[in-house]
Chains A and B, each alone.
Chain A
Amino acid sequence: MSNLETFKYDDKIVRNFAIATAIWGVVGMLVGLLAAFQLVFPALNFSAETAFGRIRPLHTNAVIFAFVGNGIFMGVYYSLQRLLKARMWSDFLSKFNFWGWQSIILLAAISLPLGFTSSHEYAELEWPIDILIAVVWVAFGLNMFGTIIKRRENHLYVAIWFYIATWVTVTVLHIFNNLVIPVSLTQSIPVFAGVQDALIQWWYGHNAVAFFLTTPYLGLMYYFLPKAANRPVYSYKLSIIHFWGLIFIYIWAGPHHLLYTSLPDWAQSLGTAFSIMLIAPSWGGMLNGLLTLRGAWDRVRQDPILKFMVVAISAYGMATLEGPLLSIKSINAISHYTDWTVAHVHVGTLGWNGMLTFGILYWLIPKLYNTKLYSGKMANWHFWIATLGTLFYTIPLYWAGWTQSLMWKQFEPDGLLTYGNFLETVTVIIPMYALRALGGTIYVLGVFLMVYNLWKTAKTGTIENTEVSFPPLKKVKKQKGEHWHRWIERRPIQMLIVATIVVLIGGLVEIFPMILIDKNVPKITNVQPYTPLELEGRDIYISEGCVGCHSQMVRPFRSETERYGDFSKSGEFVYDRPFLWGSKRTGPDLHRVGAKYSHSWHYSHMEDPTSMSPGSIMPAYPWLFTREINTEYTAAKIRVLQTLNTPYPENYADKAVADLEKQAKEIVAALKSQGIEQENLETKQITALIAYLQRLGTDAKPENITK
């Protein structure tokens, strides 16, 4: 066998990603813990940088892109080389991928607490970091395809199909959801406004779950589960149909995040219909996972790795059934904006992503270090702690979600809301929030146990890049009687192209009509662009992360129009860049808050929410009273908005700051008449914020509409 090629797998890069996964896992979850405790003890909002509104996106970004992201790279770099019998194509790109990704995370960890955010959920990072993400992601793709091209294996295994689909879809999603025009290094204005921005954001947001938390992890499952169980994959046919079904259908389901909003009904219906169709393809993955364990169930009892994987796959099955159910309008009417959604998401993340990552780490680290796991018993303990933590996290939140939603909708026979004060529906679920924080604490303790166990394991072994020998690739032609799908498994480029087409269809069908057909967003003539001061106030609202707890979307329900005012119309958001509809109501909706309270109420409320609403868990915002409004970029913002067809008068940018100062003085005068005085108040951020809040939803009040 002289034609054997001997080479080494790059295991050290896998080790690096594994360490990063563990570290960022701990960090991301600790940040989540802080957010959870802040809802119980508002005093934990120490400063602007650590207030809930900025901590929440930090948590979601850290666990999704830092913890799971590094987990993906770890699993892909390990399995790809072995499934293709080839070392990664370029060591430089591998290193670039690793260090590039870690620097993105670091930049996120700095920029998000500083309030630099685009406010698009799970895509909060500002444009310079977005560009870096794109570069690193492309480097990863190049490295992956380079490796695929120089492989020593004719066919691509199902795990790699998932990796390819992940790569191409994330690329497309990332680019389209971050189409912005920069105003400064830390600020930008999105190209799309209002409803269109919302549709694109949730097309992205939903598929961030699909193609960052699901498809790559399914790929990892297809490699690590059969390896750990030492069993053949249950059904090749199922792999094929559930893979193509999943990637085709998933992309359509985004609008189910916008049910009952101002999104046109046809788009909402598509979201619901495709979500229901998603059940079977999703469950295909669960079946292929669980049935691969056929004949290994006796080992599941003893092996903590398999236990983690079984619970992960079960959690995946539960979450992918619950998701479609939540996409049915009558259920969504109850679940949306409540903690039910948060509970649902955490079944997926704590259960599926977390547990699968743990299982893989317990399997992988001893392999990499050529040793045995330091303590199986400890891993077993971790399994039970993680399971308990997940239960303690999710069950109280389900309960909180149901309770709050039912309270929001409860009417008295005389037509009044039973709980007219929103705060009553919050204080009643705070014990649930406390239990959730306890659940989160338990879960994190388990992760600490794992880190210790893996650390000890690594110390007993040494890492060497594995040396292997394989014959070079001898291309095979079509074999008699082979499954038709084998054809494309030999052709990675064709597979990439077909996968791209398949994932693009859904997005194009939904997004293009929304952008191109005017009738999808009926005009309301009274709706005017924001004034410069309101614009700056809006940017403060965005920067403080208010959207994390306050929606701006009154749905057409009696319980909402009674509580908040007339329901929101799509035409009201045409100047909203970005849209700020939000996805969770920890506090009340704010779309109709304009002119509802006095300036002095807002002033006192922002200074100390409990002064106006005793028992409120909203943080105080004392820094808004000392920090100055930044007018350096006001003119630039106006100019960018004008290029996006916002109808400001010609050359308005030149007098924008003067107008801003004039309006600020008016607000300060009004505050004075209400007994509130402060030195230089007209230059403080609170004034701009009040201007924005008082404008919200006032243009299109029924009495102002001329049809």
Chain B
Amino acid sequence: MNQLNKYLKRTLLLMGGISLLPLAANAKGGSPLMELAFENIFLILAGLVIIAAAATLINMVFNFIELQKLRLNQELGIEKEEVTEAIQIPSWKKIYDKMWNLVPKDKEETIDLGHDYDGIRELDNKLPPWWVGMFYGTIIFAVVYLYIYQWGPNEWSSLQEYNIAMEDAEIQKEKFLANSASVVDENTVVYVDDKDRLLLGEEIFVKSCAACHGVQGQGIVGPNLTDDYWIHGGSIQSIFKTIKYGVPEKGMIAWASQLKPTTMQNVASYIQSLKGTNPPNPKDKEGELYVPEESTPIGSNDAVETEDAKN
């Protein structure tokens, strides 16, 4: 049944190979290609593992087919053509056998230790060299790893990693903002009259605001948004500000970390468009009466045109 062992061993070796992948992947080089590789290390690693796992599976399937053939041959009384194989052993096979260093099954009695525990015997096979190599390899890895992380010159402590990531993010953000035409904030925000953008605002409103303010803005836990009375101001700037920073002590969440400025502008505009819709079951008026000033007419939105087009 040497044939069978071979298939098993091949599968195992393949699995062994997978274990070395993270070692290879930990090398960080200087070239852009290496940097790119390092930045996507997880994807690459996952890819390699998946490929290896697939290869193992395919290998197993083929091995099982071979096994089946072998069994059928045996049943039919046909001996395998092992003779031809024995004459010409390919060199990879020799290396492969060396990596296992197994005593063939027919010579098993030469390494029987004579132990007998309730009928269980033990063989004295040598440790497989690949396994020993792997063991030493991981020990060396561990020593090097501990040295580098603890005493070596590196930027890999959790805090350093974090600071680097934050700096990188800041640079990227600045770059992006420098390239984008304008940024909407509570000072520059204006009402948008665009039908599509009001629809986008409505979508967010229903998803994120309706739980407290009602689907129609009539107010539930949160105040009524359809009347003329506002607790934190009814101008587009005030509404934008309330959305952005929230009013934590009263239960209004700050949305700045969840919604883009233009999205908040859409929502604020949608909220302003609800004025006077008189939905059923409105909540009583709260806050102060808000009268729009003449100088900030509803409907002008020059400042956002460019970015709107970009989106």
Contact = CB atoms under 8 A, between A and B. Distances in A.
B158 A260 contact: yes
A657 to B, nearest CB: 28
Question: 9 shortest A-B CB distances, which residue pairs?
Answer: A598-B251, A420-B258, A280-B135, A556-B162, A273-B142, A232-B121, A235-B125, A415-B173, A157-B117
Nearest to A615: B207
B127 A301 contact: no
A331 B25 CA distance: 11
Given A237-B124, A598-B248, A420 B257 contact: yes
Contacts of B245: none
A567 B162 contact: yes
B257 A563 contact: yes
Interface stretch (A111-119, A204-212, A292-300, A499-507): A292-300
Contacts of A245: 135
Contacts of B165: 557-558
B257 A321 contact: no
B212 A598 contact: no
B40 to A, nearest CB: 11
B274 interface: no
B142 A277 contact: yes
Contact of B257 (A157, A279, A562): A562
A297 B8 contact: yes
Given A265-B149, A297-B8, A421-B208, A233 B251 contact: no
Contact of A279 (B45, B138, B173, B248): B138
B15 interface: yes
A377 B161 CA distance: 56
A321 B162 contact: no
Contact of B158 (A265, A284, A417, A561): A265
Interface range, B side: 35 or more
A135 B301 CA distance: 77
Given A412-B260, A596-B248, A556 B159 contact: yes
A266 B150 contact: yes
A325 interface: yes
Contacts, number: 210
Interface stretch (B83-91, B105-113, B194-202, B231-239): B105-113
A595 B254 CA distance: 11
A241 B125 CA distance: 13
Contacts of B146: 269-270, 273
Nearest to B258: A420
Given A232-B123, A281-B135, A276 B141 contact: yes
Interface of B: prevailing SS: helix
B290 interface: no
B133 to A, nearest CB: 9
B277 interface: no
A414 B173 contact: yes
Interface of B: 1, 4-5, 8, 12, 15-16, 18-19, 22, 26, 41-42, 45-46, 49, 67, 71, 102, 105, 108, 112-113, 115, 117-128, 131, 134-135, 138-139, 141-143, 145-146, 149-150, 156-159, 161-162, 165-166, 169, 172-173, 176-177, 180, 207-208, 210-212, 221, 248-253, 257-261
Contacts of B208: 421
A235 B120 contact: no
Contacts of B150: 265-266, 269
Contacts of B169: 411, 415, 558
Given A321-B19, A614-B211, A235 B251 contact: no
A614 B161 CA distance: 36
Contacts of B22: 325, 328, 331
B122 A675 contact: no
| Interface majority SS (helix, strand, loop, mixed), chain A | helix
B47 to A, nearest CB: 12
B191 to A, nearest CB: 22
Contact of B71 (A223, A278, A298, A612): A298
A227 B121 CA distance: 10
B123 A234 contact: yes
Contacts of A329: 156
Contacts of A325: 22, 49
B24 to A, nearest CB: 12
B114 to A, nearest CB: 10
Nearest to B64: A301
A262 to B, nearest CB: 9
Given A266-B150, A614-B211, A413 B121 contact: no
B248 A236 contact: no
Nearest to B179: A413
Contact of B260 (A234, A268, A416, A483): A416
Contacts of B142: 273-274, 276-277
Nearest to B156: A329
5 contacts: A278-B138, A416-B258, A416-B259, A420-B259, A596-B248
Residue with the highest number of chain A CB atoms closer than 10 Å, among B125, B139, B156? B125
A223 B16 CA distance: 25
Contacts of B161: 556
Contacts of A600: 221, 251
A686 to B, nearest CB: 15
A321 B4 contact: no
A667 interface: no
B253 to A, nearest CB: 6
Interface string A289-333: 011011101100100000000000000010001000100111100
- The listed residue with most A CB atoms (<10 A of its CB), out of B149, B156, B248, is B149
A321 B120 CA distance: 29
B295 to A, nearest CB: 30
Interface in A68-121: 79, 82-83, 85
A674 interface: yes
Contact of B157 (A265, A411, A557, A613): A265
